[in-house]
Structure 1
Amino acid sequence: MTPAIIYSLNIENPNDYPIAIDFMYNVPLSVQIDQTRLSKIVIQQIINAGSRISYCDQNNLCASWNWHIVNNRSTCLLYSDIGNNVYLSGHVSGVRGQWTYNKTGPLVLDRPGNMPANGQYVLWPFLSSNQTMTVTIDNDINNILNNISINGTWFEQTELKGSAANGAVSISTKLQPGEKKTLSILFAWYFPHLYWLDLPLDNYYLLLFNNVTTVGQSIGIDKNDDSQLKIIIKDILRLHNLYFNSSLLDYLVDSLINSASHMRSAMYFSNGDWRQWEAYDCNDVDSVHNDHQRHLPYILYFPETEKIKMYTWAKYQQNDGMIQ
């Protein structure tokens, strides 16, 4: 289980002259719009607040923050803990974190602490000898987009450290006439601390990786080696081709491949337990009323997991026969 996504762009130059190509990826990870933090441990209240992120960064006791309008005045609350975040229109919130970058590594957002929202993100391009990387952070996404559209890159920095709403990386390369390339950027995360009903269960990948950098290293990105990536792609295609090259009906092929994507919301704990959210927008766990739709791929791919789950349902069956 690797907590990562790789975004790839296939490019080709059909012209009889060289062309420059720039590929960027931006993530607004430090600001959650229309989200509030459920915390009552306020350590500071700032009226007519400007940059909320910098206020939290300047206060060593601040772990999270929330901004909203009170009596026609912008108000920022700094918290010493990290409460759950929920939707609330007109609020903006975030978790303390800092972006870092040096010339020999990726762009990392570090959120120190032991709560579920504490951890790390990384943006890490796959580079070769004829590709260059630039990074930037900014509270205003328009600055990031305008600079990349005008210059094709950002000011090249050898080191970066600070807090900002957005972090972005880019790959720049030149394509010769008729040349083809694939540009790839890794987006990975490492959030080892997971709680369920206030129990510290932790994510299973805590046993596999030490930090977000080792996640990237596990697929060889630190050596600019895409051989492991090619193995992963080959394995995925091998699985898909089992179905696409078979005599199975289209609807069955679709179900076997795409229904398994439901596992994107799975929770795999460090004690070996596997749990499944109903959906990203519903916090029901292992919901029977939804799960019957997805038994088919689970039975094929994870038969023992399916058996254990059904035994658990039976164990907690109510006297009237209902399972929920």
Structure 2
Amino acid sequence: MPSHSKWESLPTEAINPSTLAIDKLPATDIVDSMLTEDRKMLAAVQRERDRIAVGVDIITRALRKGGRIIFVGAGTSGRLGLLESAEMPPTFGTRHELVLAVVAGGKDAVLHAKEGVEDRYDEGSRSVKRLSPSANDVVIVVSASGMTPFVRGALSRARRAGSKIIFVTCDPRTELQTFVDLTIAPAVGPEVIAGSTRLKAGTATKIVLNMLTTASMIRIGKTYGNLMVDVKTGSEKLRDRARRIITIVTGLEYDDADRLLRRAHWNVKAAIVMQKAGLSYARAMSRLRRADDFVREAIGEDVEPRLRELLGTAGHA
């Protein structure tokens, strides 16, 4: 048995002096306490702004070279990485193998907590090895404490493969900074409930991961303005969104947008280029490829004035 705790010095394990009597408070005061702590969390993320932007540049360069994004984590951190991975194909039309996630304990740990598996260093290494990481890939290692053996094993394997490593943690003092290419460490401080890193640490991590993935996808042409032009139309809601995007960009009526999308095989980008440039589907796809998949370059037109015009019209309706 250890003679002392190796976790007690972690910021997220500390006792929060602002919530010592939280178990005696009415619900509204508990909510107020949590909102106060979340404001501190947002300020901590803001302080990491420049590092997050560097992370976006690292990921963007990797994607342009044909690399992948691989998230690695245990517990809440692992589930957050998995959520990012799962959301990329429907939102940005990515291939399922482009953004991957490794969670300690595998799929079973997503719905049912299996906290003990995070202690397996070798399993972390093996889990990443199975994905055959390369120097073109970016491995985003997520660990609120920075001490999880599973994550350390994964990090070691990724380093041996030559992958770029971004480490997202809530412990700015972690010594793992010396083993990675970039550390993003919002100092969120003690949790409302001591040690419950699904709270501020989890929320801060989610915000950071959102920024890393979303900004990177924007930088490789997955949006046109702020429109989701690479959306995968797998549901009626998403098909409706695709039709509305076409009406916004081209001025077509809703039914005409539907007919255009059907001719474009529900490829929103292709539909825009077809309508704007008067091209067939095949020629529109060819033009998009020459434009590195950027709609703006493919049609030589900025969508911002159109969006501002529509917003102004809506404001006066």
- TM exceeds 0.5? no
Instruction: Report TM bin, short chain.
Output: under 0.3
TM-score, structure 1 as length reference: 0.21
Report the structure, 1 or 2, having the larger strand content. Answer: 1
